[in-house]
Amino acid sequence: MKSPLSLMGLMVSVAALAACSQVGSGSAVPVQPGRDPMTLRAIPIYSPSPTPTPNVISGVVSTLTSLTCGVTAGLTCHVLSGTGPQGLPAGTAVADLPGLHPADLQSAYALPSATAGSGQTIGIAVAYDDPNLESDLAVYRAKFGLPACTTGNGCFTKVGLGLLGSLLSGNQAWGQEASIDTQIASAVCPNCRLVVVEAASDSPAALLAAAQTAVAHGASVVSNSYSLAESSSENDASYAIGVPFVFGAGDAGAGATWPAASTHVIAVGGTSLARDGSARGWSESVWSGTGGGCSAYIAKPSWQHDAGCAKRTANDIAAFADPNPGVAVYDSYLSQYAGWRTYGGTSVSAPIVAGAIALAGNGKTALLNAAHIYAGAAALNPVGSGQNGACGTYLCEAGTGYSAPAGNGSPRGIAGL
């Protein structure tokens, strides 16, 4: 006879899987053979992104994840299926893997990934269990020549917050979220340690407790990729956790989301990247699916001075998130398309920024909110084009200086962090 706790876990698992649809149910796009080595290769674009329209996610040709991603009504984890080939085997050659690779992200943001980050720990707060998380991370890091990050060498820690020590239920969508977060954080800061805390549910309170637990386990920055619609019940003060608290802005176009609108977090928007002939080697614009806008409830912090929003404006900073082409991620905890595939959304931009903060070494000092980013805005890459809606102002359209979708710009090395 099963114990009550076992039955509880079974019921949660069934409910979670019923509530969260499988990502990537479109047909696979053929692999492009004979591509150049990773650091020089062209970034494939599998379909043109349409002209942005308000609150519509663009540039995605395959089915997206369920917007509930678990059992808590209204809570969204930011998992978007990319437009590249899906379900490629673990042994696929690097040159044939779609999407952006670690070298691409490091190049686009001029990051000192090879030399910085030692002694820093990136915390990742997710819900439910991904039993393959560490082994999938090992495949990713080995494929791209990154040093091993395992429980055995002290680089990787996974903490489960099950009730009375019970095993956590698995959830495929949250498992994909965890794979994106750990692998993209690794791409940006391969010398950083990782601590992943799995909450027993995806309620906001459980996920906040997971972030606080990550700090207790040594995290110097915590990355999160989930959001809720704003409400009058938001408790801004509860999101001050003593280290930089990074939140993706969401993937449903213009508008502020919670907790990205908190004044105690760093709200991260999403961008598109393309190689060009500039000195930087890349052009960058607002990704039309990114969240970002004027909060309805949170008071404007003293360090924010834009005139078009009387309350808190999200976002503060931005990084790559466009699912077209997305980033390469290895995930075997799937019933369909297990293996290498591509993902986009602010699930990608949040760990990029968290990793860059870790590289800068400002985890427990300067970046307890986003004030430091505004003070150092001149050191960021400007993002002066693109939009996530049609409001006609900086609250949804990029231009000169600050905009809600792109914040103050994207990382340019670590000087602005």
Give the CATH number of the domain where residue 54 resides: 3.40.50.200
Q: What is the pTM of this model?
A: 0.85
Q: Are 365 and 194 in contact (CB under 8 A)?
A: no
Question: In terms of Cα–Cα distance, which of 177, 233, 181 is closest to 204?
Answer: 233
Does 409 map to a domain? no
| C-alpha–C-alpha distance, residues 341 and 301, integer Å | 40
Question: Residue 165 has what pLDDT?
Answer: 61
Q: Are 207 and 71 in contact (CB under 8 A)?
A: no
Q: Count CA atoms closer than 13 A to 354's CA, side-chain side.
A: 39
Does 389 map to a domain? no
Does 406 map to a domain? no
Q: Count CA atoms closer than 13 A to 36's CA, side-chain side.
A: 7
CB-count exposure of residue 358 (10 Å: 0-12, 13-18, 19+): buried
Could you give phi then psi for residue 8, rounded to 5 degrees?
-60, -45
Instruction: Kindly state the helix (H) or strand (E) to which residue 204 belongs, with its residue range.
Output: helix 204-216
Instruction: From residue 202, give the alpha-carbon distance in Å to each of 9, 67, 78, 185, 241.
Output: 14, 13, 13, 21, 19
Question: Residue 366 has what pLDDT?
Answer: 59
Does 395 map to a domain? no
Amino acid, res. 294: C
| C-alpha–C-alpha distance, residues 219 and 196, integer Å | 10
User: How many domains is the chain built from?
Assistant: 1
Helix H, strand E, coil C: the string for 225-286 is: CEEECCCCCCCHHHHCCCCCEEEECCCCCCECCECCCCCCCEEEEEEEEEECCCCCCEEEEE
Residue with tokens 């614009």: 285
Does 6 map to a domain? no
Burial 220-250 (b: 16+ CB within 10 A, else e): bbbbbbbbbebeeebebeebebebbbbbbbb
Does 7 map to a domain? no
Does 206 map to a domain? yes
| C-alpha–C-alpha distance, residues 39 and 42, integer Å | 9
Sheet containing 339-344: give its strands across.
Answer: 80-81, 339-344, 327-331
| C-alpha–C-alpha distance, residues 326 and 97, integer Å | 11
Question: Residue 39 has what pLDDT?
Answer: 38
- Walking along the chain (417 residues) 10 residues at a time, the average pLDDT comes out as 40 36 34 35 38 31 42 75 91 97 98 96 96 97 98 97 77 92 98 96 94 97 94 94 95 95 98 97 97 97 97 98 96 89 96 97 72 95 97 97 98 94
Domain residues for the domain of 221 are 37-379
Does 14 map to a domain? no
For the chain, helix, strand, coil in percent to 5 are: 25, 20, 55
How many other CB atoms are found less than 10 A from the CB of residue 55? 16
How many other CB atoms are found less than 10 A from the CB of residue 182? 28
